[in-house]
Amino acid sequence: MNDDAQQKKGLTRRNFLKSAGGVAAVAGMAAGGLAAGVREGSAAAGSMPKKWDGTYDVVIIGSGFAGLAAAMEAKNAGASAVVIEKMAVHGGNSIINGGDFCAPGTRLQKEAGVQDSPDLMYNDMMKAGLYLNHPELARTLADQAKDALEWCENYVGAKFTRLNFHGGHSVKRANQTVNASGSELVNKMLAKTRALGVAVQTRTKMERMIADKDGRIVGIEVKTGYRFPDEKSGKTAYIKARKAVILTSGGFSNDVPLRRIEDPRLTEKFESTNQPGATGEALLAACLAGAMDVQMDWIQLGPWTSPDEKGFGNVPLFCERLVGYGPMIDPAKGKRFFKETGNRKERADAIILLGHPVIIMGDSYAVPKQVFPRALEKGLESGAVKKFDSLEALAKNYAMPVEAFKQEIARWNSFVEKKKDSDFDCMIFPDARPTVTPPFYAARLWPKVHHTMGGLVIDTNAQVFGFDLKPLKGLYAAGEVTGGVHGAVRLGGVAMADCVVFGRIAGKNAAKETAWG
Amino acid sequence: MTGKHNIMRLPAAWFIVLGLVFAALLIYVGTPMAAPKQVKSAKPGDCAACHGQEKVFSPSHVDTKAMTYKDCLGCHEKAGPQKLEGKLPGSHIHQLGGITCVKCHESGQKEEEVAMDKCVVCHNADKLAEKTAKVKPENPHTSPHYGTTLDCNLCHHQHKKSENFCAQCHKYDFVVP
Ligand SMILES: Cc1cc2nc3c(=O)[nH]c(=O)nc-3n(C[C@H](O)[C@H](O)[C@H](O)COP(=O)(O)OP(=O)(O)OC[C@H]3O[C@@H](n4cnc5c(N)ncnc54)[C@H](O)[C@@H]3O)c2cc1C
pLDDT at A371 (0 to 100): 95
Closest CA to A480 of A504, A509, A502: A502
Q: What is the pLDDT of residue A46?
A: 45
Rg over alpha carbons for chain A, rounded to the nearest Å, is 23
pLDDT given for residue B122 in this prediction = 95
pLDDT of residue A42: 40
Tell me the pLDDT band of B58, cut-offs 50, 70 and 90: confident
Name the residue among B145, B168, B169 with its Cβ closest to that of A181: B145
Put simply, whether B4 touches A (Cβ < 8 Å) is: no
Q: What is the number of domains present in chain B?
A: 3
What pLDDT score does A178 carry? 97
Q: Is B98 on the interface with A (CB under 8 A)?
A: no
User: How many Cβ atoms sit within 10 Å of the Cβ of residue B119?
Assistant: 18
Give me ligand 1 centre to Cα A401, in Å. 41
Residue A344 annotated among the catalytic residues of the structure: yes
Closest by Cβ to B170, choosing from A91, A181, A311 = A311
| B171 and B127 housed in the same domain | yes
Whether residue B21 is found in the same domain as residue B40: no
Q: Could you tell me if B37 and B99 lie in one domain?
A: yes
- Residues A253, A451 contacting (CB under 8 angstroms): yes
pLDDT at B57: 85
What pLDDT does residue B20 have? 63
Contact A179/B at CB under 8 A: yes
Q: What is the pLDDT of residue A123?
A: 98
- Are A479 and A315 within 8 A, CB to CB? no
Considering only CA atoms, which residue is closest to atom 35 of ligand 1? A62
- Are residues B132 and B73 both part of a single domain? no
**Ligand 1, from A17, A61, A97, A201: best to mutate by most atoms within 8 Å of Cβ?**
A97
Whole-number pLDDT of residue A93? 98
Cα nearest neighbour of B150 on chain A? A89
pLDDT digits (tens, 9 = 90+) for A243-291: 999 999 999 999 999 999 999 989 888 999 999 999 999 999 999 999 9
Q: Most B CBs within 10 Å: which of A87, A179, A183, as the mutation test of the B interface?
A: A183
What predicted TM-score, i.e. pTM, was given to this entire model? 0.86
Tens-digit pLDDT profile for residues A447-486: 999 999 999 999 999 999 999 999 999 999 999 999 999 9
State how far the alpha carbon of B126 is from the alpha carbons of A196, A227, A375, B141, B144, in Å. 26, 27, 24, 8, 14
Binding site membership of A484 for ligand 1 (Cβ less than 6 Å): no
Q: How confident is the model at residue B56 (pLDDT cuts 50, 70, 90)?
A: confident
Q: CB A183 to CB B154 under 8 A?
A: no
**B53 and B22 housed in the same domain:** no
> Is A331 a residue whose pLDDT tops 50?
yes
Output DSSP code: residue A92: G
pLDDT band for position B66 (cuts 50, 70, 90): confident
Interface check for A89 against chain B (CB to CB < 8 A): the answer is yes
CB contact under 8 A, B168 and A276: yes
Nearest CA in chain B to A188: B146
pLDDT in tens, B1-55: 344 444 445 555 566 666 566 555 555 544 445 678 888 888 888 888 888 888 8
* Longest CA–CA separation in chain A, Å: 77
Catalytic member of A139, A344, A347, A504: A344
Q: Are residues B83 and B69 in the same domain?
A: yes
CATH match of A304-446 with 2.40.128.20: no
Q: Which is the closest atom of ligand 1 to the Cα of A275?
A: 53
- pLDDT value for B17: 61
Taking contacts as CB-CB distances below 8 angstroms, the residues of chain B near A96 are 145, 169
B28 & B38 share domain: no
Whether A228 has a pLDDT exceeding 70, the answer reads: yes
Q: Is B108 in the same domain as B45? A: yes
pLDDT band at A443 (very low <50, low <70, confident <90, very high): very high
Q: What is the average pLDDT score of chain B?
A: 82
Ligand 1 in contact with A82 (CB < 6 A)? no
Which residues sit opposite A272 in a β-bridge? A449
Mean pLDDT across A311-331: 96
State how far the Cα of A222 lies from the Cα of A54, in Å rounded to an integer: 11
DSSP secondary structure of A367-434: HHHHS-HHHHHHHHHHTSEEEESSHHHHHHHTT--HHHHHHHHHHHHHHHHHT--TTT-----TT---
How many whole angstroms separate alpha carbon A352 and alpha carbon A447? 8
Q: Are residues B173 and B133 in the same domain?
A: yes
Q: Residue B80: which pLDDT band, with cuts at 50, 70 and 90?
A: confident
| Final residue of a structural domain among B90, B112, B134 | B112
My answer on whether B174 and B134 are in the same domain is yes
Q: Are A483 and A294 in contact (CB under 8 A)?
A: yes
Chain A nearest CA to B144, separation (Å): 7
Give tens-digit pLDDT for A363-416.
Answer: 999 999 999 898 999 999 999 999 999 999 999 999 999 999 999 999 999 999
Average pLDDT over residues A75-93: 98
- pLDDT mean over A178-202: 97
Q: A281, A272 in Cβ contact below 8 A?
A: no
A101 bridge partner residues: A175
Q: Where are the beta strands (DSSP E) in A119-195?
A: 160-164, 174-177
% of chain B with per-residue pLDDT over 90: 35
Question: What residue spans define the domains of chain A?
Answer: 3-92+192-300+451-512, 304-446
Q: How far is A88 from chain B (nearest CA, A)?
A: 8
pLDDT band per the 50, 70, 90 thresholds, residue A420: very high
A247: CA distance to ligand 1 center in Å? Answer: 12
The per-residue pLDDT of chain A, averaged, comes to 92
Q: CATH code for A3-92+192-300+451-512?
A: 3.50.50.60
Same domain as B38, residue B94 = yes
Residue of A310, A314, A378 for testing the chain B interface, max B β-carbons within 10 Å: A310
The mean per-residue pLDDT over the stretch B61-88 comes to 87
| pLDDT tens by residue, A52-77 | 999 999 999 999 999 999 999 999 99
Q: What whole-number distance in Å separates Cα of residue A276 and Cα of residue A273? A: 9
In A173-310, DSSP assigns E strands to 174-177, 199-201, 204-211, 217-224, 235-247, 293-294, 299-302
Interface of B with A in 121-160 (CB under 8 A): 136-137, 144-147, 150-151, 154
Domain A3-92+192-300+451-512 and domain A304-446 have a common topology:
no
Cβ of A176 below 6 Å from ligand 1? no
Which amino acid is present at A217?
Answer: I
- Structural domain span for residue B121: 114-177
Q: Is the predicted pLDDT of residue A440 greater than 60, yes or no?
A: yes
Asked if residue B64 and residue B108 are part of one domain, the reply reads yes
Neighbours of A458 (CB within 10 A): 30
